[in-house]
Amino acid sequence: MHGNQRAATPSNTDRAISDLVREGVVESVDLNAGTAIVRIGDILTPPCSWSMSVGDTSIWIPLAVAQPVLVCCPEGDIERAFISGSLPTTAMPPLALGEKVGIKFKDGALITYDPAAQLLQIELPGQATIIAPSGVSIEADVTLQGDLSVSGDVSCAGTVTGSSDVIGGGKSLKGHKHTGVAAGSALSGAPQ
């Protein structure tokens, strides 16, 4: 050993190891900064970022107050701490979906993909909006349950079937009348 170096005692080593990863509970969250303060026993961490997928593709999953988490402190330094993951509890149980992959939101919305059935399923308690200035293409047969409202022209290379009625420009396909029609082989004018 050199100069003032001293051998690490088992208690010092155990303490150093235990300071690397610790369990705590989220005390507060700053959603704008993407940081949270965690209570570890009597200690409050400084604002810590939490582990997310960042890079060319980023994923944002906010933490919640009272959420149990794991805090990593490189070299045991709490000033460099970051939140590496969350821990399940009775109040916040894990999402158990078997082989499916899924995301569940606090309002009950659920997005799942079942690779065995090749089925993507989205269950929403509210509504969905798609913003795609260049358009949306669907290459599939589409079944729609409910009314359909379109605020532009409709073009279809296939068949459009409406079990009740189809209304275009305020005209009912089922109930509109043609005027100026005479018996015989003449064609009627446009719907009125």
Question: Per the domain annotation, does 125 fall within a domain?
Answer: yes
Indicate the number of domains in the chain: 2
Question: Per the domain annotation, does 186 fall within a domain?
Answer: no
Q: Rounded to two decimals, what is the model's pTM?
A: 0.65
C-alpha distances (whole Å) from 138 to each of 135, 141, 143, 162 are 10, 8, 12, 19
C-beta separation of 66 from 29 below 8 A: no
pLDDT tens for the 192 residues of the chain, in order:
455 555 555 567 776 677 899 999 999 999 999 999 999 999 999 999 998 777 887 888 889 999 999 999 998 899 999 999 888 888 888 889 999 999 999 899 999 999 999 999 999 999 999 999 999 998 998 888 888 887 877 777 777 777 777 777 777 777 666 666 666 666 666 555
User: Does 43 share its domain with 82?
Assistant: yes
**Domain limits for position 53:** 10-86
